[in-house]
């Protein structure tokens, strides 16, 4: 189905045709046993009938090619305690067999270095690319899920007492107003004031 895009400044109106649709949903929960859970689900669809070039199954237009996901159970320190996967749709019969390979992240902590360690353990032919890619942002979803639970706990700091959150993203850059407001003693003026 063709649609028209709104022009940006200096460009002409352009029509575009959808070729692929991907949705990723992620949610976090607090469990009654005192642990926490985060779930990620990936769904891929095509607007027309599809058969993978490698000979997988026929998928009718609009039906999911991929519908799979990961659940992580973790504690308040963000250590992964359990991993489960599900594959409700996949192009190849062997795809669900990749789920158990994610057990290798049990015991890891979802903090700085998480993505690098996940790629090291699961990259390439060691696991399903889609399931592995879901793991990357699950750490930030877990962290966001914990924000209310962390109230009253001390802010993580480095060896010098500087909050680790400083310079962890654009908003928390040491020269920005967020740091000036929250940790004025660690604020630094911009290198090139505008």
- The CA distance from 186 to 14, in Å, is 48
Quick check: 28 pLDDT over 90?
Answer: yes
Q: What is the pLDDT of residue 192?
A: 76
Q: Please state whether beta strands 2-5 and 36-45 pair in parallel, antiparallel, or not at all (unpaired).
A: unpaired
Q: Please state whether beta strands 14-17 and 36-45 pair in parallel, antiparallel, or not at all (unpaired).
A: unpaired
- Token pair for 37: 């859970």
Q: What is the pLDDT of residue 187?
A: 92
Task: Of 110, 59, 109, give the one whose Cα is nearest residue 88.
Answer: 59
pLDDT per residue as tens digits for the range 130-152: 999 999 999 999 999 988 776 66
Most distant pair of Cα atoms in the chain: their distance: 61
SS3 112: coil
Q: What is the pLDDT of residue 140?
A: 94
> Which domains, and CATH codes, for the chain?
20-146 (3.30.390), 154-194 (no CATH)
Quick check: 9 pLDDT over 80?
Answer: no
pLDDT per residue as tens digits for the range 29-65: 999 999 999 999 999 999 999 998 888 889 999 999 9
The stretch 4-26 carries a mean pLDDT of 86
The reported pTM is 0.79
The pLDDT mean for the chain works out to 91
Q: What is the pLDDT of residue 7?
A: 67
- Token pair for 189: 């003026």
* Residue given tokens 């879901």 in the structure block: 134
- The CA distance from 86 to 44, in Å, is 15
């Amino acid at each position: 189905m063709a649609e028209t895009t709104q022009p940006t400044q200096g460009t002409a109106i352009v029509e575009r045709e959808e070729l692929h649709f991907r949705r990723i949903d992620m949610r976090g929960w607090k469990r009654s046993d005192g642990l926490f859970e985060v779930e990620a689900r990936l769904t891929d669809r095509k607007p027309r009938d599809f058969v993978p070039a490698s000979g997988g199954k026929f998928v009718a237009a609009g039906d999911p090619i991929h519908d799979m996901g990961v659940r992580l159970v973790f504690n308040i320190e963000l250590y992964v305690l359990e991993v489960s996967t599900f594959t409700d749709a996949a192009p190849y019969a062997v795809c669900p067999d990749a789920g158990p390979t994610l057990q290798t992240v049990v015991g890891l902590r979802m903090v700085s270095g998480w993505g690098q360690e996940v790629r090291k353990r699961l990259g390439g032919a060691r696991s399903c690319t889609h399931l592995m890619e879901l793991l990357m942002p699950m750490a930030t979803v877990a962290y966001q899920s914990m924000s209310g639970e962390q109230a009253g706990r001390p802010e993580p700091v480095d060896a010098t007492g500087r909050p680790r959150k400083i310079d962890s993203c654009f908003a928390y850059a040491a020269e920005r107003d967020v740091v000036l407001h929250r940790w004025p003693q660690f604020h630094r003026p911009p290198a090139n004031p505008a």
